[in-house]
Amino acid sequence: MANGAESAIRDNRWSQWSPASGLAFIVLFVVGMLLFKTPDKDDTQLQIVGFYADKGNRAQLIIAAYLLVLAGVFFFWFLASLRDRLRVLEGGTGRLTSIVFGSGIVFIAMLMVTAGCFMFVPGEITFGDKGVPPDVARVLPDMGWAFILIGGAFSAIAMIDAASVLMVRTGVFPRWVAWLGFAAAVVLLFAALVFPIIALLVWVGVVSLALLQMNGVNVPGMGPERPSAAS
């Protein structure tokens, strides 16, 4: 019985802090993106070959890709915590909660494909001991950006919008968190410019803190609101 009680306490503690995985996602995502560096688009083929011939450059790209994959793993934990909370509140068929979870899964897939595009060239040279045509080395990282900034950003828009609608209906979080979500979704329409992706990081950070507050971790300003009668 004592072992069972101790196990329950550990499970409760893990459940209490699991939304912090969203904060871990932010850190890993930012560091991974900051480490990502490839040759300039205008570089000659000789310059591209020289860039990837440098072991330090290849190692940096491989580390960046691994961090992005790990960020996706932590995002999954964050997404599961958010789904559990929203599903209970929504009730019924849980249509909006399903949209939140499904769209989040697509975002994770886009992030991991992006990491694969970033890692392929340095990985082939380092681990496969194979040369990669300079034109492939020039194009493949750009393909990765397309996955995360188009497919990833638009799946994130669906996730954020569905979650924000539920937040307005239920009052589970302060109303401003929902409106922040709607604003973030608008900003992400321009994610192809790269910098708007920061809106997703801000939203994940705020929602993570709000979930921690609901789990008993004191985060000032993140208490739930009662839904209005009109909701």
Q: How many CB atoms lie within 10 A of CB 213?
A: 19
CA–CA separation, 63 vs 36, rounded Å?
A: 9
Predicted model pTM: 0.84
Residue type, 39: P
CA–CA separation, 197 vs 152, rounded Å?
A: 10
Domain regions of the chain by residue span? 23-214
Q: At what angle are helices 134-146 and 95-126 packed, to 10 degrees?
A: 160
Task: Check: CB of residue 184 under 8 Å from CB of residue 139.
Answer: no
Per-residue pLDDT tens listing for the chain (231 residues): 445 444 434 445 666 667 889 999 999 999 999 998 888 777 788 888 888 888 998 899 999 999 999 999 999 999 999 998 888 877 777 888 999 999 999 999 999 999 999 998 888 888 876 777 777 888 888 888 999 999 999 999 999 999 999 999 888 888 999 999 999 999 999 988 888 999 999 999 999 999 888 866 555 555 555 444 333
Mapped onto helix, strand or coil, the DSSP state of residue 103 is helix
Residue type, 12: N
Q: Pick from 208, 173, 213: which is nearest to 89 by CA?
A: 173
